[in-house]
Amino acid sequence: MIAFLPQEYEEFRLKIRRFCETTLEKNAMRWDEEEEFPYDSLKAMAEEGILGLGIPEDFGGAGTNRLKLVIAIEEVARVDPNSAFIMEVESLFDATILLFGNEEQKRILKDVAQGKKIGTFALTEPTGGTDVAGIRSIAKKENGKYLLYGSKYFITNALVASYFIVFAKTSPELKGKGITAFLVEKGTENFKVGPKIHLTGFRGAAIAGLQYNGAPVGPENIIGKENEGIKVAMSVLERGRVNISALALGMLQRVYEESVRFANYRKSMENPIVNYQFIQNYLTDMLTDLEASRLMVYNTAMLIDKNMQVGLNAAATKLFVSEALMRHVKNGVEIMGGYGYTRGTVMERLARDAHNTTLSLGTSEAMRLVLSRYLKS
């Protein structure tokens, strides 16, 4: 329990946890093994109001704050990291529309909150994702429209999305200052999705590339203002880092639970291995980092809710929590031995999914670079 959290947040957590354990967990392993997009999960989360967290009631959402959103992502990730990852990426889409979209664009959020439509955030390209200013997609203005040329890669939800936020250069000569964000609908002429990309983890996330060779979009499809796409991207990514951190936090919670359970059950020389000091060291380090991670995630979420600057906190939180997960899932596998390395076990799935959290929304190296900028007076 967190001392500074009002009781309503703990009650909210318990409500989400009960839902996740009774509705999501029973299918989580199957979705992973079969690389199946969890439509049933999204439908159930929409009915529970989870997909609408962070979306105002005026636009069909639950109208809650960032703190409740990260608690929900944490709890979903504890039992079904794949569904939490899908939810986390869709929250990037929601935030982009809410922060920078016009009233017409915001109307689509109702269908997203209800699980009828899926949105995604298409920034990464085959040549990389960290260097936002270096994207190669372009948007040529012709006869009052923009024609999109280029491609994207590693786009989560791409195979099932109805809406895509695509970043392209409208003024290539301005480099990073000439990027614009566009809302593109599925079925747009010359806009193709696929093929599916098979990752080691998050195997049900419908990840694919995008190709567009003269895909037409109107000026009404611009999100924000022309040539201000870098502002859109960085604002959303900065805030979104607390969401991927919440996902890593939920996974770390499950790593700890699985490790403690196994250490109390497994015996060596008639003695539960939890009684051995080196196992205790693994577990106490896990617990310490788990507590620190939760405080960092919640603090950053609360700063966002207060409309405060979160660049430093978001980067530090993302770096710490994702790397803590990587350290401790390795130790969790060590504690469980062959059982932790066996297909179809929770720990093996967590080990595969974990590495993505150090890559998404900025690599660990990129987070260190962001933080280094705060060192200079």
Give the tens place of pLDDT for each residue, 101-118.
999 999 999 999 999 999
The domain that contains 295 carries what CATH number?
1.20.140.10
Q: Tokens in use for 300?
A: 């950053």
Domain residue limits at 27: 7-113
Same domain, 95 and 141: no
The domain that contains 98 carries what CATH number?
1.10.540.10
Regions of the chain with pLDDT less than 50: none
**Among 96, 87, 148, 152, CA closest to 118:** 87
* Alpha-carbon span 313 to 337, nearest angstrom: 36
Task: Name, in order, each residue with C-beta under 8 angstroms of 299's C-beta and a sequence gap of 6 or more.
Answer: 313, 317
Instruction: Point out the domain boundary residue: 47, 79, 113.
Output: 113
Same domain, 249 and 293: yes
Establish if 1 belongs to a structural domain.
no
Same domain, 240 and 278: yes
| pLDDT for position 3 | 75
Same domain, 323 and 240: yes
Tell me, what amino acid is at 358? T
* Alpha-carbon span 224 to 96, nearest angstrom: 9
Number of domains in the chain: 3
**Among 289, 314, 302, CA closest to 371:** 314
Number of residues that make up the chain: 377
| pLDDT for position 54 | 86
CA angle (105, 110, 111) in 5-degree steps:
95
Task: Name, in order, each residue with C-beta under 8 angstroms of 47's C-beta and a sequence gap of 6 or more.
Answer: 115
Instruction: Point out the domain boundary residue: 73, 98, 113.
Output: 113
Establish if 271 belongs to a structural domain.
yes
Establish if 44 belongs to a structural domain.
yes
Same domain, 371 and 245: yes
Indicate if the alpha-carbon torsion angle 118, 96, 52, 72 is positive or negative. Answer: positive
Establish if 2 belongs to a structural domain.
no
Establish if 334 belongs to a structural domain.
yes
Q: Render pLDDT for 22-68 as a digit per residue (tens, 0 to 9).
A: 999 999 999 999 999 999 999 999 999 999 998 999 999 988 899 99
The whole model's pTM is what? 0.96
